[in-house]
Structure 1
Amino acid sequence: MAINNPYAAYQNNSVNTSTPGELTLMLYNGCLKFILQAKKALEEGNIEEKNKAVQKAQAIVTELMLTLDTSMPISKNMMVLYEFVNHRLLEGNIQNDSKFFDEASDIITEFRDTWKQVIQINRQKQYANVDEI
């Protein structure tokens, strides 16, 4: 099936050609985007759109939880934080209070920024190894 929208084609191609690390980064960015959309919808009094955005953010957090490598010792701490983020998103949705969204966003931003640094370090190591060949 051909994609007529060039932006959709670009997005599809970038997902299909990304490394697992880059896909995780996309998930973090998507989660932050949906949290921001939920906050905006809440400010505008659009409860239905707020709920949809929160559910999308929660789906991403759930995906991050499911794909977490539990053989790593740090994964237990990450799982606790992911559960906390999901709970904050739920509370913000129920109580219509953006402070909960801010707390969730802060944690996801920290994960995203750290993950971005890991990707950059890995790329530097990869290119350093290429130069040695």
Structure 2
Amino acid sequence: MNQQAQDTYLRMQVNTASSWELTTLLFNGCIKFMKQALNAIQNDNFEAKNYNIKRATDIINELSFTLDKQYEISLGLNSLYEYMNNKLFVANMKLDTDSLTECIELMTDLRDTWVQSMKQYHAATKAQI
């Protein structure tokens, strides 16, 4: 698929997504950028490494910003996001693939938990109707 078609598809996906699907898209984008940064480190492409870590950090900051801080779980998620941002900083400065790999695993687990929770929530909501 060419770049213009991919951009159009992504724009349509974002424009038609529900709020929980948008969060899933953010998780997926963050994972994608972290994997690209890891690949860039392995290929000594420092410009791409920096760019992709910055994109991942931007997404993590957006996820943190949108948390409703009145809930205890939000405080835990905020701490996790801060931890990942710190690990990404180390990965960027020291070319630390272990820190980057850890962030990929954490974000993947978080995304998978989010998707499973939303599926269960929507199933329970439909059962009540």
Percent of residue pairs bearing the same amino acid type: 35
Maintained 8 Å contact 1:37/1:53: yes
* Structure 1, unpaired ranges of 5+: none
Map 1:22-101 onto structure 2 (within 5 A). Answer: 22-101=21-100
Instruction: Please provide the CA RMSD for this pair.
Output: 1.4
List aligned pairs for 1:2-13, cutoff 5 A.
5-13=4-12
Q: Which structure has the larger Rg? A: 1
> Is 35-44 or 12-21 further displaced after alignment?
12-21
1:34 corresponds to which letter in structure 2?
F
Structure with the higher helix share, 1 or 2? 2
After superposition, give the CA deviation of every residue in 1:65-124 in whole Å (9 maximum; x if it has no partner). Answer: 100111111111111110000000000000011001011112111110110101211221
Partner deviation per Cα, 1:25-44 (whole Å, 9 max, x = no partner): 11111000000000000000
Task: Measure the CA separation in 2 of the matches of 1:82 and 1:8.
Answer: 27
Write out per-residue CA displacement over residues 14-73 of structure 1, whole angstroms, 9 at most, x where no aligned residue. Answer: 101111111111111100000000000000000010000000000000000100111111
Query: After TM superposition, which residue ranges in structure 1, 4 or more long, deviate above 4 angstroms?
Result: none
Number of equivalent positions: 127
Q: How far apart, in 1, do the equivalents of 2:31 and 2:74 lie?
A: 21
- How many angstroms apart in 1 are the aligned matches of 2:7 and 2:40? 24
Aligned residue for 2:125? Answer: 126
TM-score normalised according to structure 1 size: 0.89
Which amino acid is the alignment partner of residue 102 of structure 1?
T
Instruction: List runs of 5+ in structure 2 lacking aligned partners.
Output: none
Whether 2:110 is the aligned partner of 1:111: answer yes
Aligned partners of 1:22 and 1:119 also within 8 Å: no
Higher mean C-alpha deviation, range 13-22 or range 83-92: 13-22
